[in-house]
Amino acid sequence: MVSAAQMKVIVTMPAYNVEKTLVQTYEALPVSLREHILLGNNVSEDNTAELAKSLGIDVITHERNLGYGGNLKRLYREALRRGADVVVEVHPDFQYEPSLADMLVEYIKRGFYDVIQANRIRSRQESLAGGMHAYRYFGNRALTLFENLWFGVTFGEWHSGMRAYHRSVIETLPLDSYPDTHAFASDILMDCVMYGFRIAEVPVPVRYESQSSSVNVPGLFAYAGRTVHAALKRPPWKKKMFGTGGSFAASTHVNGKKTNGG
């Protein structure tokens, strides 16, 4: 297994019409993460692709809009094909704070966790102050409470759009079984729990502005229904024990030294 210093990190950006925020997101990323960035262009109607290329970002323009989840499926597979040891999802709409992405990566590189997600719900006041609408906040709280009780965990949220994965996670999970919609975010985390991967969170502030990507109210109801249905298909008594998922959990390298992963 490669040491932490040798691990290749690829940042994936699912993108649709992010011309106004792409440069801001890119420049906020830690310099250490700018070397390998892969942007999935969901047939944007603005200058997203050209602008990304001018920044030195590798662009994959899909033949059609694959949806949020479909975009990520292709990006994740391509990142693995290019030899990524850690795959990071960063939204180029500047909603999640990009400057903290390296903190997610370090927990994985040092061998503590297999999956790290950004938690934007540290407190109600902070979330609402960041521009999150009240209906979105309380909807997130209700769904997260249900999912936590169902799966027996205590995540701050289940619907984050900023995560880092060790490659063994993506290699193991059945990506094709997940929806191409925003429900992808919840489904993939459910299986990370079911497969016994080590998951943790890092608090990350968010900002909801006019350019931020979001689902409309009818879409949120559909998302909620889809999420509950997906959870019920995964009986919690069938989940594997925390820390037993994938080959990475068995042994890891911390600062170049082999250590137990559990």
What is the pLDDT tens value at each position of the chain, 262 positions in all?
A: 678 888 999 999 999 999 999 999 999 999 999 999 999 999 999 999 999 999 999 999 999 999 999 999 999 999 999 999 999 999 999 989 999 999 999 999 999 999 999 988 765 566 556 566 676 777 788 899 999 999 999 999 998 999 999 999 999 999 999 999 989 999 999 999 999 999 999 999 877 665 555 555 666 788 888 999 999 999 999 999 999 886 554 444 444 444 443 3
Global pTM value? 0.87
Owner of token pair 């991967």: 197
φ, ψ (nearest 5 deg) of residue 254: -115, 115
Residue 248 lies in a domain: no
Q: Which among 115, 120, 101 has a CA at the least distance from the CA of 168?
A: 115
In three-state secondary structure terms, 217 is helix
- Of 219, 260, 254, 211, nearest to 110 by C-alpha is 254
Domain count, the chain: 1
For residue range 46-75, list pLDDT tens digits in order.
999 999 999 999 999 999 999 999 999 999
Rounded Cα distance, 7 and 86, in Å:
7
Instruction: Report yes or no on 255 lying in a domain.
Output: no
Instruction: Quote the CA–CA distance of 261 and 32 in Å, as a whole number.
Output: 25
Let me know if residue 241 belongs to a domain. no
Helix (H) or strand (E) holding 220: helix 217-232
Q: With respect to residue 11, please indicate whether it lies within any of the assigned structural domains.
A: yes
Pairwise CA distance, residues 184 & 149, whole Å: 20
Amino acid at 150: W
Find the CATH number of the domain harbouring 67: 3.90.550.10
Does residue 254 sit within a domain?
A: no
Tell whether 17 is covered by a domain: yes
Q: Which domain holds residue 114?
A: 4-235
